[in-house]
Amino acid sequence: MKIICIGRNYAKHAAELKNEVPDEPVIFLKPDTALLRNNQPFFVPDFADEFHYETELVIKINRLGKNILPQFAHRYYDKIGMGIDFTARDLQSKLKEKGLPWERAKAFDSSAAISKNFVAKSKVKDIQNIEFKLLVNGEERQHGYTGDMLFKVDEIIAYVSQFFTLKIGDLIYTGTPAGVGPVKIGDRFEVFLQDEKMMDFLIK
């Protein structure tokens, strides 16, 4: 399986990192070795100085597809999860300055935390009208509303599938809202999708 991530998909987040709002989705990939599952702790790596959390709605693909049209994209997933796209922000900034790929800053081991549970899409009336949030040590740090996405889930699936065949089990991280920030050893992360707690783990 592969992990496809969308960058800069919320205007306020693009602005907080002084990035332009893109006119096409920004895509990058993580390998399956990036997955951090089952609420296992995130051990802060030592190859960079500042690791940021990015809380994101995650779509799980349930059907093989290529060149999917937006109007059919909804048939290609039936489960919604939550994830954290951990990012070595200082390293990413250096790579961006030089125009180099981001992989070392984005695709390292455990950089893709994923919720244990997924919610059936059928439980959600409109995927573009749901909220999610991250609490760090009980305090709200990120609050996302999917209606604010620059590229909607179905548009993302259609766009991505022009370049990459989507396979069963692939995950799409749909981008983070504003409020990203550095992790600290000892932090407790709790992620909610609507009112349902999806993740609860520690930074070590």
- At which residue do the structure tokens 């709605």 appear? 57
Cα gap 135→42, rounded to integer Å: 15
Cα 68–chain centre separation: 21
Query: Per rule CB under 5 A, is residue 85 in the interface with Mg ion?
Result: yes
Residues contacting 32, CB < 8 A, separation 6+: 1, 2, 3
Output 54 or 170, the one with its CB closest to Mg ion.
54
Tell me the closest approach of the beta carbon of residue 174 to Mg ion, in angstroms: 9
Q: Are 79 and 93 in contact (CB under 8 A)?
A: no
Of 33-72, binders to Mg ion (CB under 5 A) are 54
Dig out the tokens for 178 from the structure: 């504003």
Q: Which is nearer to Mg ion, 28 or 78 (CB)?
A: 28
Strand, helix or coil for residue 177:
coil
Residue (89 or 154) nearer to Mg ion, CB: 89
Beta-bridge partner residues of 6: 27
Minimum distance from CB of 5 to Mg ion (Å)?
Answer: 6
List 132, 176, 179, 193, residue binding Mg ion (CB under 5 A): 176
CB of 75 to Mg ion, least distance (A): 25
Comparing every residue's Cβ against Mg ion, the nearest one is 85
Q: Which residues bind Mg ion (CB under 5 A)?
A: 54, 85, 176
